[in-house]
Amino acid sequence: MSTSEPAPERAPRIAVIGGGQLARMMAQPAIAMGVPLRLLAEAEGVSAAQVIPDQQVGDYRDLATLRAVTAGCSVVTFDHEHVPTEHLRALAADGVIAHPGPEALVHAQDKIVMREAMARLEAPQPRWAVVESLADVEAFGLPCVLKVSRGGYDGKGVWVVRTSADAAEPLAAAERTGVRLLAEELVEFRRELSALVARAPSGQAAAYPVVATLQVDGVCREVIAPAPDLDESVAAGAQQLALRIAGELGVTGILAVELFEATTPDGETCVLINELAMRPHNTGHWTQDGAVTSQFENHLRAALDLPLGSPAPRARWSVMVNILGGDDDLGEVARLYDGYPHALARDPQLRVHLYGKDLRPGRKVGHVNVFGDDLEDCLERGRHAAAWFRGDLGNHSE
């Protein structure tokens, strides 16, 4: 249902496909910018549907639904990367331009297409190959990482394969779903980095400081901005790499280039491309409180081809810690909201972002941002607050 009358056309309207927390967090800068959003939510009451009045509920895989939700919108952007390429081409023919566009977006949808493009660009990446059989995997060499080319996220669709037996599950999964499999060298990395850039259709681009990210079981847990002890030339090189990829692939909006920081055989520090994402990204949530212009605002500015805002940091250090549901059974009594009294009283500078979701094991339900001059202090405060909200420090709902 469309829940509001069409407003007078004070500004272009942006369609957003997908009702998760990324769309929810786009709503905040859209309010400040005076730019209306129209949401396609996968169900009533999901995260972004709680906060965007102009919304429809439907299936993003259905072209008629996409046409209905984008009617009257100048541009369409995304909470996720799953909208079929052919639908985006059909919308463009209707005059609704997608940011990022289908030709760019496919590199975030299909890991094999991405690896091929990075090879063409001679961008640094792990050794890789398309594999179809156990023989292919063994020929590639073990240990390795197997990934489905499409549809994986947050560690799902990724397997570390140390023995031939380990390859059985991914090979069967690929056979069952018809998705191609990619083998990648198991990189011995020092840590993971992320280079986040925004790029507008005009070609203007802005690079955020390169951050260090801690991933646990394939899920982002913590981000430190800027990455501590990162060689300046490596940091600048990673920014230039992300800007070059954004330009060469014609990305519009936010591009996150997830990187491994590794060491070459000669002992030099290098970066290798792990993944690309073309939307506001978990490794950029720190920018909401730590940068002059947040990734969400710059994503919207880029979609509208407006000049981008400064990506400069506002504090010496910014730390983001995700609030994830734990394995323990918190039951239905745990309300994230009940974490506020202690968390806010302990740290009056804490910035909390909750997504309107219930706390369930492994689910991203919010994050906290902390900034300051002392990194250890920021980490302690951020970790304490996130642990408190997830109930690790005692069940706060009692």
What residues line the site for a copy of itself (CB under 8 A)? Answer: 3-5, 7-12, 24-25, 27-28, 30-36, 44-45, 49-53, 55, 206, 288, 292-293, 301, 304, 306-310, 312, 314, 335-337, 340-341, 344-345, 348-356, 358, 366
- CB 183 to a copy of itself: min, Å: 41
**What is the full DSSP assignment across 177-217?**
HT--EEEEE----SEEEEEEEEE-TTS-EEEPPPEEEEEET
Known binding-site residue numbers:
111, 147, 184-187, 192, 274-275
Residue 137 and residue 152: Cα distance in Å, rounded?
Answer: 19
**What is the full DSSP assignment across 313-331?**
BSSSEEEEEEEEB-SS---
- CB 196 to a copy of itself: min, Å: 16
Give the amino acid at 383: R
> Dihedral sign, CA of 109, 111, 116, 122?
positive
Instruction: Assess contact for 254 and 196: CB atoms under 8 A.
Output: yes
The single residue listed with the structure tokens 């541009």 is: 75
Query: For a copy of itself, which is the closer residue by CB, 57 or 270?
Result: 57
Tokens of 316: 């010496």
Query: For a copy of itself, which is the closer residue by CB, 88 or 334?
Result: 334
Instruction: Assess contact for 367 and 336: CB atoms under 8 A.
Output: no
